[in-house]
Amino acid sequence: MIAGYVDSYALLKFGVYVSFMTGNTTSAGAFAGQHNLREAGHSLLPIPCFVLGILLGTLLARNGGRREHGLARVSALVAAMLGIATVAAYFAWPEWLGVVVLSVAMGLMNTSIVRVGAQAVSLGFMTGDLNSMAQHLALGMERAPVPEALGNWDTHWWRAGLLAGLWTTFLCGAVLGAVLALRYAYWTLLVAAGMLLILSAAERWSAAASAADFDT
């Protein structure tokens, strides 16, 4: 939901995506084909920033110690970057700065949750999720065995439902981001930042509670 929310805000404010790099690549190619190199460069700008965010998120995940610390840390870091983007918008700093900050933030967030059970998921790449969902629907119709099933509940239908849920919440986030962006302008990002801070705090509390139960 947050990925769709921020992507919708960026599209309305900057005319580019900060989570959907296929769209930016298509736009850049279309503008370049029309000899509009300025707009082509603007569309290309988020791509290396998004890749940088994934690189940083992967390094944090590998060197950040326990898994629960990794998710909480990335959530808090992305929230801070959304705060920076809000400040940049409030003081009317150059638009390219907002694009850079938000693209790195979405790249980071895309590394926070990569699997649910045994199912690979993407928080910002809905094409891949929809592709996997359709495959699970087809395999479910054929009653094919589920690879790496975690239990009787882990069926192709369950995995298809999970992926459909991700797409639905991404769409809802995009709708909400557009509605609030039209009403609250640069303050819009603070809603997403607050949600991420709550997620970070909840993850740390859950980890602490689990550790206490284990010690007991």
Confidence of residue 216 (pLDDT cuts 50, 70, 90): low
Give pLDDT, residue 163: 97
Taking only the tens place, the pLDDT of each residue in 147-181 is 889 999 999 999 999 999 999 999 999 999 999 99
Kindly report the average pLDDT of the chain as a whole number. Answer: 92
Confidence of residue 65 (pLDDT cuts 50, 70, 90): low
pLDDT at 68 over 60: no
Are 161 and 132 within 8 A, CB to CB? no
pLDDT at 83 over 80: yes
Domain ranges of the chain: 2-207
Give pLDDT, residue 69: 59
pLDDT at 186 over 90: no
- How many whole angstroms separate alpha carbon 200 and alpha carbon 71? 7
Taking only the tens place, the pLDDT of each residue in 106-147 is 999 999 888 999 999 999 889 999 999 999 999 999 999 998
Mean pLDDT of the region 200-214: 78
Mean pLDDT of the region 47-56: 96
Give pLDDT, residue 215: 62
